[in-house]
Amino acid sequence: MQPQHIAELILSGFRNHYKLFQAITAKAPIAFANRDWQKINEISKLRISHYDDRVNETITKLKSLNEQQIIELNQTCWLETKQIYQQFLSFHPQAELAETFYNSVFCRLFHRRYFNNDFIFVKATLADAPALPMEAEYRSYFPVVDGLRPTIRKIINQFDFKAPFVDLERDIRLLVKAFYKQAPDTHHQAWHMRFDILQAPFYRNKAAYIVGRVVSESGVQPFIIAVLHHEDKGLYLDALLTKSSQMRVIFGFARAYFMVETHAPSALVRFLNQLMPNKTLAELYNAIGFHKQGKTEFYREFLQHLNNSNDQLVIAPGTPGMVMMVFTLPSFGYVFKVIKDTFGESKPFGRDTVLKRYQLVKSHDRVGRMADTIEYSNVVFPLSRFDSKLLAELHKTIASSMIIEGDWLIIKHLYIERRMTPLNIYLENASEQQAFEAIEEYGQALKEMIAVNIFPGDMLLKNFGVSKHNRVIFYDYDEVQYLTDMNFRALPKAKSYDDYLTNEQSYSVAPQDVFPEQLCTFVTANPVYKHYLLSTHPELEDPAYWRQAQYNIKQGVVSHIYPYPAAQRFIHYW
């Protein structure tokens, strides 16, 4: 098989992948218009598994044409193949994604010794090429022509949500009022501004989001407009968000991926990056559903950070877990998690169960309360960057998952998550007010997870983290299960006075049984924290509350967890 043919076949595989991916994404607006929330969730899950299926199809086609040449690497052939493939991408609108697709195909075919820039795109070859114009993804509107409110009406109507608005004129008035209040330093006269609006809405769960910016003489003001359904009455604008911190939460690492149609992802990401400059390319590609590209960008960021730092990898702060060995690089805001060779006695499951539970969270609605994970295989670290204590612990706990080759340590499989302050450690140094707010957040996190059919299993405070936005986020998934699979029971009452005195009642407990009344006993043993939790979320101790959540899910009720403060909602002004 000639290099030209191999390059063409891989590019054809990518083209098919991207075409089908966008076709799946294009179903989201229809599902939103029809209020088919189950369909929205199905589309989101389907997109996550879609990539690997297309890579495997491409590999199968390569092997069917010349299996021997594919199995045994012909270095001259593949060096030329990469060069030809690179030429194909010079003016390709999805060049960066096509590079990653090529890498995926090659890396599943050959040994890791060839995973260097000679054979794959470790470095982005188009980094120095002219960037795709962001104008390919947004449209500009000029209020000086038609006036401010008519221009806003035109913007909303051109999105064609395929459903009527309950009262668009009212919503526009509220939108303008909110903008004046939230962005008082922006020039508000119609002849002093321009709207740049991304052409496609961002869909997730039960909402659509319009993303754009106001350009005026006073600078650039980014914004997000949330669009919701009012039961069967129609659409309405629910909120305007102009604060960068709120926008970053909406695009945060603890939420499901957006579904948005795009022809030039790099242009879309660059536009978003201008609105949220603290977000990395990896985070933004992840946020819009290109999680494989997010992996590529993250690895490049990590390699660059290693080259520009000299601190050592160390054991991550916090209470050691019984399933995962966790380490971190202090100067890099992430943790690395590896499944241990053996688990503690209280963990009656194996490695395969852990893998499935992490995948469950990956494909589920994370409602801003479960950290996204980046999964890698055969990750190469410089051996010299490992602290001696960490290295000894790795040999002790994950020996079967690591290999040392010369100056390198290879970990066969790991997860990477955003580093947060473990909630139990945060509380040790928190003021009274901070502790109250953190425990209230903890209870709210539990409520939001169970509302979307997630039972976290191990609800100890050490398994939750506090983000830099002071949100409490769950990050330990080895005991995650569907809420509907659990059996929530009340603790049996004492049958006699002797039972009450001895507190030694005997009752049977099945593996899926849960006693919510024990939540405070085991999770928040500290009486102060117990008081905080019961004063803000007393229903969490009531088995009936958990059973009602199960009932709602079984009845097809799809909860919507608002990713912005309730005070931002226009409904307060109706």
Find residue 237's DSSP bridge partners.
Answer: 227
Q: What percent of the chain has pLDDT over 70?
A: 95
In angstroms, the CA 349 to CA 479 distance is 9
Angle, CA 277 vertex, CA 276 and CA 282 arms, to 5°: 90
Q: Which residues have CB under 8 Å from 544's CB, separation 6+?
A: none
Q: Whole-prediction pTM value?
A: 0.93
What is the predicted pLDDT for the residue at 500?
46
Binding-site entries for ATP: 316-322, 337
pLDDT digits (tens, 9 = 90+) for 64-94: 886 666 667 889 999 999 999 999 999 999 9
Binding-site entries: 316-322, 337
The more confident residue out of 183 and 283 is 283
User: Given this structure, which CATH class describes domain 423-554?
Assistant: mainly alpha
- Are 265 and 97 a contacting pair, CB within 8 Å? yes
Is residue 311 annotated as part of the catalytic site, yes or no?
no
User: Taken in order 564, 567, 568, 569, is the CA torsion positive or negative?
Assistant: positive
- Are 453 and 552 a contacting pair, CB within 8 Å? no
Instruction: Pull the structure tokens for residue 269.
Output: 């990401």
Q: Which residues have CB under 8 Å from 42's CB, separation 6+?
A: none
pLDDT digits (tens, 9 = 90+) for 457-467: 989 999 999 99
- H/E segment holding residue 407: none
Closest CA to 461 of 428, 434, 417: 428
What is the predicted pLDDT for the residue at 495?
61
Displacement of CA 373 from its chain's centroid (Å): 7
- Are 568 and 240 a contacting pair, CB within 8 Å? yes
Mean pLDDT, residues 102-114: 93
Catalytic residue among 372, 458, 476, 478, which? 372
Closest CA to 99 of 84, 112, 86: 86
Burial 356-366 (b: 16+ CB within 10 A, else e): ebbeebbbbbb
Closest CA to 551 of 494, 486, 502, 501: 486
In angstroms, the CA 395 to CA 386 distance is 12
What is the predicted pLDDT for the residue at 496?
56
Q: What's the whole-number average pLDDT of the chain? A: 92
Q: How is the chain split among helix, strand and coil, in percent rounded to 5?
A: 50, 15, 35
pLDDT confidence band for 378 (50 / 70 / 90) = very high
pLDDT digits (tens, 9 = 90+) for 297-318: 999 999 999 999 999 999 999 9
In angstroms, the CA 69 to CA 66 distance is 6
